[in-house]
């Protein structure tokens, strides 16, 4: 950890890891909505809460920061799941054929 401080590379490491965390969540949103729909939103809420708890419980600033990024990326994923359903309804992403009734029910309720 001293090497990071000496080189002032902490910000670069945080930036790179933030980029990777956010990039990882994009395909997770697509796959989660495809297989489970929006009913898995609570998993991301739980992950976000656990990440915040871990962030405030650690003394390491790098780990704390990355847990915070992970937490709020998890919270953002909840919003994205519901928006992904809209994108699927518009035909921008493939619809899971096993869940066609769920999409049909949602579109009927939306009218």
Distances in Å between the alpha carbon of 17 and those of 24, 66, 109?
A: 10, 7, 40
Residue 5 predicted with pLDDT over 70: no
Q: Per-residue pLDDT averaged across 23-40, rounded? A: 96
CA–CA dist 110, 108 (Å, integer): 5
Range of the domain at 7: 2-110
* Number of structural domains found in the chain: 1
- Tell me the residue length of the chain: 111
Please give the pLDDT value at position 25: 97
CA–CA dist 55, 38 (Å, integer): 27
Residues sharing a CB contact under 8 Å with residue 94, sequence separation 6 or more, in sequence order: 34, 88
Q: What confidence tier does 111 reach under pLDDT thresholds 50, 70, 90? A: low
For residues 34 and 85, the answer to whether their CB atoms sit within 8 Å is no
Residue 95 predicted with pLDDT over 60: yes
């Amino acid at each position: 950890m001293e090497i990071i401080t000496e080189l002032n590379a902490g910000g670069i490491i945080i930036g790179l890891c933030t980029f990777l965390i956010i990039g990882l969540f994009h395909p997770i949103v697509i796959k989660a909505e495809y297989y489970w729909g929006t009913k898995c939103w609570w998993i991301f809420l739980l992950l976000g809460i656990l990440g915040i708890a871990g962030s405030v419980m650690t003394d390491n600033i790098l780990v704390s920061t990355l847990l915070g990024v992970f937490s709020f990326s998890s919270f953002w994923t909840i919003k994205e799941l519901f928006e992904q359903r809209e994108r699927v309804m518009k035909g921008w992403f493939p619809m899971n054929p096993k869940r066609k009734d769920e999409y049909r029910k949602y579109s009927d309720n939306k009218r």
